[in-house]
């Protein structure tokens, strides 16, 4: 039972400006944190320097502000936290939970050639007992537990994931020096004291790997809630990669209502406060009342 004070977060990757899909996640996690009297943190996940661009960080923060989504405390930026990730990888290494791997992408693909299209690639464990003689390390991998990880999602229910079959030992640090998402997301959520993670359903299948890492650090696992993602017209997840448009900041209430209806609610038309037009804060207050009643 988690008795700590509620701490939620929104952790966008600055690969583009905020779009409807990311606004839905931001809104859901903000409403849940505020309705539980908790804090809401924002963290910029720019560890993948190939995909992230510095100019999008201020645009994302401005877009959150334009929609009234105020955060607590400082915004953590992952590109400034390499030493913290190195320290945590070292901890896992001292506990014997990681090992160097020499396998190329092609070798792993070849070992997965029998899998159907769209099925996850599973690391075959080639280097688990040591790299073949004469080979150089290309990545550091985490030794997955051999038992299934079971977790409860607020919306998706009970999920069981046998990591040895769904991913195999996964990468924590790539050969080119890049940190892998699973390590940095867990280290940052753990160190910032996040108790509840509300994020898009596209990340649900990463959760068991992250829970395995929490356990490896002897840390308390947060509660998870994966929200439905907004799909583009072609059925793909709406994302910066699929060309999602930046939000028009001159119509924040329209944007909020769009993602709110996607979350399954009726549009909100807050009353104007005196003579002025309703603001995002008025809209959010009205949404908080509905959210509290509906949970
Ligand atoms: N940075 C990830 C993204 O923008 C979200 C990570 C998370 O919420 O755990 O998709």
- Note the pTM of the prediction, 2 decimals: 0.94
Do 44 and 17 fall within a single domain? yes
Q: Is 194 a pocket residue for ligand 1 (Cβ < 6 Å)?
A: no
Q: Is 169 a pocket residue for ligand 1 (Cβ < 6 Å)?
A: no
What is the 287 CA–ligand 1 centroid distance (Å)?
A: 24
What is the 185 CA–ligand 1 centroid distance (Å)?
A: 8
Q: Which CATH number fits the domain that encloses residue 88?
A: 3.90.800.10
In a domain, 203, yes or no: no
In a domain, 208, yes or no: no
In a domain, 212, yes or no: no
In a domain, 150, yes or no: yes
Q: Is 161 a pocket residue for ligand 1 (Cβ < 6 Å)?
A: no
The pick from 10, 12, 52, 244 for probing ligand 1's pocket by mutation, whose C-beta has the most ligand atoms within 8 angstroms, reads 12
Q: What was the pLDDT predicted at 232?
A: 72
Closest atom of ligand 1 to CA, residue 199 = 8
Please name the residue that has the structure tokens 């070992």.
111
Do 88 and 145 fall within a single domain? yes
- Residue with the smallest CA separation from ligand 1 atom 6 is 11
Provide the domain count of the chain. Answer: 2
Burial 283-293 (b: 16+ CB within 10 A, else e): bbeebeeebee
Whole-angstrom CA distances from 16 to 7, 20, 48, 80, 206 are: 26, 12, 13, 20, 22
In a domain, 132, yes or no: yes
- What is the distance between the alpha carbons of residues 228 and 24, in angstroms, rounded to a whole number? 9
Residues 216/95, Cβ–Cβ less than 8 Å: yes
- One digit per residue, the tens of pLDDT, for the chain of length 295 reads 556 899 999 999 999 999 999 999 999 999 999 999 999 999 999 999 889 999 999 999 999 999 999 999 999 999 999 999 999 999 999 999 999 999 999 999 999 998 888 888 999 999 999 999 999 999 999 999 999 999 999 999 999 999 999 999 999 999 889 999 999 999 999 999 999 999 999 999 999 999 999 999 999 999 999 999 987 767 776 666 666 788 999 999 999 999 999 999 999 987 766 667 899 999 999 999 999 999 7
Q: Is 39 a pocket residue for ligand 1 (Cβ < 6 Å)?
A: no
What is the 23 CA–ligand 1 centroid distance (Å)?
A: 12
Q: Which CATH number fits the domain that encloses residue 241?
A: 3.40.50.620
Closest atom of ligand 1 to CA, residue 202 = 10
Please name the residue that has the structure tokens 């008025």.
282
What is the 26 CA–ligand 1 centroid distance (Å)?
A: 11
What is the 114 CA–ligand 1 centroid distance (Å)?
A: 31
What is the 175 CA–ligand 1 centroid distance (Å)?
A: 22
- What is the distance between the alpha carbons of residues 142 and 209, in angstroms, rounded to a whole number? 9
Domain that holds residue 99: 83-181
In a domain, 149, yes or no: yes
DSSP string, 215-250: HHTT-PPPEEEEEPPPBPTTSSBPSTTTTPPPP-TT
In a domain, 200, yes or no: no
Phi (first) and psi of residue 30, to 5 degrees:
-65, -50
Q: Which residues contact 125 (CB under 8 A, 6 or more apart)?
A: 168, 169
Do 44 and 115 fall within a single domain? no
């Amino acid at each position: 039972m988690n008795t700590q004070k509620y701490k939620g977060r929104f952790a966008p990757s600055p690969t583009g400006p905020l779009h409807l899909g990311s606004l839905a996640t931001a809104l859901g996690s903000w409403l849940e944190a505020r309705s539980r009297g908790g804090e809401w943190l924002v963290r910029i996940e720019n560890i993948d320097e190939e995909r992230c661009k510095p100019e999008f960080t201020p645009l994302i923060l401005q877009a959150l502000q334009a929609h009234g989504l105020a955060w607590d405390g400082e915004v953590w930026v992952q590109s400034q936290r390499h030493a913290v990730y190195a320290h945590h990888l070292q901890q896992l290494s001292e506990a014997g939970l990681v090992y160097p791997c020499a396998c190329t992408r092609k070798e792993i693909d070849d070992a997965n050639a029998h899998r159907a299209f769209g099925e996850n690639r599973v690391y075959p464990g080639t280097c688990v007992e040591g790299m073949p003689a004469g080979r150089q390390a290309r990545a550091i991998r985490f030794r997955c537990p051999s038992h299934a990880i079971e977790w409860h999602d607020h919306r998706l229910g009970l999920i069981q994931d046998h990591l040895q079959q769904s991913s195999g030992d996964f990468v924590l640090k790539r050969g080119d020096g890049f940190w892998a998402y699973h390590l940095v997301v867990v280290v940052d959520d753990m160190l910032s004291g996040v108790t509840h993670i509300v994020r898009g359903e596209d990340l649900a299948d990463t959760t068991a790997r992250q829970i395995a890492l929490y356990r490896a650090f002897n840390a308390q696992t947060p509660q998870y809630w994966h929200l439905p993602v907004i799909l583009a017209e072609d059925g793909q997840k709406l994302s910066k990669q699929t060309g999602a448009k930046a939000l028009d900041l001159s119509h924040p209430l329209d944007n909020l209502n769009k993602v709110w209806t996607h979350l399954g609610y009726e549009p909100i038309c807050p009353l104007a406060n005196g003579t002025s037009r309703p603001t995002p804060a008025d809209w959010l207050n009205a949404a908080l009342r509905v959210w509290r009643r509906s949970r």
